[in-house]
A = this chain, B = another copy of it.
């Protein structure tokens, strides 16, 4: 039997403390709502972490023991320390999967990995969202069907300032007339990244079965597949080279 996939669910966990409406929807916090259906899976080992814990709950030990990290943040992106962002970035490049949710599009870690504006248009109102599956053969879309609906959600609209996705899986339709690339993947280093749009804190989105299914699918898809230690960058030739009259003047392996 293989060892479990280790998932850490990170949540800003501020709205739940300050906004009774959010607290009513997510009494234990968004992180617990996200973690609950994952904990029901026997092959997953799930923990949570939040902004106001020491190291934002992401100590070196925790990160080293995380295979896939889920990220929910919104109004306190700036409070996440640059050191934590750098540590998470390093782990993603080493192979840790990353699932970024909703307003996490503007988190420091997502912007650092995308290298783009990550900007979009938005409206919090009475829009319905309908997510269309445009890549039904992708494992993240498994069990989703042609589309699914969220009766009310915050609207996110194009243009979404992201690099060309490696894979575009979902596109959203909104009542108010907008569209959005709401599920997309990228690789960075050895790590796999999935961005998934739904989940504004004032709606019960993370209690929706299909949303939970997509996140579970994404966690499994994003699991690390290699643990290569990169070789020394200064490398010897594999084929014979002509003699090098300047060899003595060359830099040695440590020069950069």
Interface of A toward B, CB cutoff 8 Å:
21, 75, 93, 95, 106, 112-117, 119-127, 130, 132-139, 141-142, 146, 155, 157-161, 163-164, 166-168, 171-179, 181, 186-192, 202, 224-226, 228, 230-231, 233-239, 241-244, 246-247, 249-251, 255-256
Contact = CB atoms under 8 A, between A and B. Distances in A.
Contacts of A21: 249
Q: Tell me the interface secondary structure of chain A in the complex.
A: loop
A121 B236 contact: no
Number of this chain's copies in the assembly equals 4
A178 B173 contact: yes
Nearest to A145: B228
A59 to B, nearest CB: 23
Contacts of A142: 225-226
Contacts of A226: 136-137, 141-142
Smallest CB-CB A-B distances: 3 pairs = A176-B237, A177-B238, A115-B115
A167 B192 CA distance: 13
B175 A233 contact: no
Contacts of A117: 93, 189
A192 to B, nearest CB: 7
Interface centre among A177, A178, A187, A241 (most CB of B within 10 A): A177
Contacts of A116: 93, 113, 188-189
